Structure 1
Amino acid sequence: MTADATEFIDAAELDEAHATADQVQGALALWRSGPPDHLRSTLLWNQLHRARRKLEQRRVQLVRRRLLIVEDQVGDRLCEVLGEYDCTVVRDLKGFWAVRPHLASMFDGALVDLHLRPGYEDRDGEIVVDAINNSSALPAVVMTFRMPGGFDVMGFQRRYNLVSVVTKKDDGPNGDFGGVVSVVREMFAADVGTKLLETLEDTLPSLRRRAGKQLHLTGRLDGMDMMHFKYNKVVDVAQQGDLAALRHAVSQFEIEFGLRPGNYRQ
């Protein structure tokens, strides 16, 4: 394992002019979920996280970006207008669950339609971004043709650590998807992972306040000490600089203390 760590760090230190896409991809494949926990107490821990961020930024420059599109009606059209990327389309939840175990290894970003069934009454896209957020560092954009009434866009974006929520001008094959293309390009900016990490870190103080309020409302004041202990564990994860780990830690904290809202209506 130490040999893998050395190889990982050495790959990040390669001169930019000589690094190849295969070298970068091969190094990142060593630890798709980040450095293993048993290295946490070693001097390698912070070096490995810095190396991983550097390799991910270099991959942006060297490798054609791989985009997962979760869309039930105009996925093929989106592939055409987003032809600069290597696109994969799935059209429903069943298709998404089939690729979910491979999100980190197969894709660099996701474009998810909020409604995946006719009639725009479902919120299946919310299930998709929740699963992405709870299991990976994949940046994601949510799109919709018809915003639900009273939909709290900013709250939804913060909750799922999204790059953006964008409205499609049309939901037909001849529609204008220029706005979607612009947001996808923003998603693949080199520093998007850092921005998403900082955005999530900014929400941590409110996470503790919400948990304390929930304990008061449910009469579980004896759980305050444990809540503060668990919150400090989340802060410890934040200090690692690992977006996937922090997303998962926040999600688990929210589940444990009853903070998972059912929807995003004001």
Structure 2
Amino acid sequence: MGTSGARACIDILGVARIRPPGGDPIELPPARAAVLIRLLLAEAQEVPQQRLQQLLPHDGGEQAVQKHVSDLRAQLKRYGVQVPPMKRYAGTYHLPLDGIVVDAFQFRDGVAGLADPPAGDEIDALLKLWRGDPRAVHPNVPSRLWRSVFDARDRLLSVVAGPAVTRLALGQWWRFADLFPADEKVDQVTGLLAPAKDRTADPVPRLLIVEDHIGEHLRDRLTPYDCTVITSPKCWHDFLATTGGKFDFAVALVDLHLNEESDDYGGLDVLAYMRDHVPRIPTVLLTAYTTPGIVDDMKEKYRIDLIVHKDPSGSVADVREAVSRLLRLH
């Protein structure tokens, strides 16, 4: 899985980006990313120009394909990677992989080379390569092209589900699982790993979740945290009445709106109570959107540490990352 000798690393297991050696990642716009991914997944084989056109909005024409390839050629040339021009007699493009490291191929090859039994850090290194479900992030790229990568993913799931691994503490599993919110295979392995939290000596951090639409989903996905879910203003008042306002939570996740129409600001009432009556708790505000200009005022007024926008795909990876960050800081 090393990258020694690579002139550029290209990540496609999530938003597509180019990582030059020693430089910051450069994210690619969706259409250019789709063209690059199609060429990469061909693994140096020739791809007809027509296939690339089909990736573009409204089946973009020849000139659109040429423009995207030209832009990619200019970007990669900076790192010594050559993208050949179209073979005009055949009407095809191809991308040699010399000097390029691709995270999807790193993952596939890494799974094939796992030790038996594998070490936890080996598995974590492979899981860490994933930043999103590429089938969802790159919907214009045909799903069948990812087959070898997802076959490797499923082989890794089988390894993780084995008795030699379920006893290991995998630091990357929960973040990885969050990237696949409706994947039955991933959920099955999560079910096997969840009891591992009960075998740890350290207490499991408790989270307060105040969310009317996806509160239960967050609780299910944020394993192994111990979550208390409040789904409405009434539940909030009942909670205060039954607990006497006692709070022993490590982090609070509070939705901005707590009604079906999402036109109230019930979450701010919860935050105001916590500000006035509860010792300082690291707090995340959950919202579908925020109005520019009021974010800083809200954070200061209600002691909000982070604001996380809810992912419409159902992934809670950003929420988990926010929780992990606050637990590290406090």
Shorter chain as denominator, the TM-score bin is 0.3 to 0.5
- So what's the TM-score if we normalise by structure 2? 0.36
Query: Which has the larger helix fraction?
Result: 1
Structure with bigger RCO (C-alpha 8 Å, 6+ apart): 1
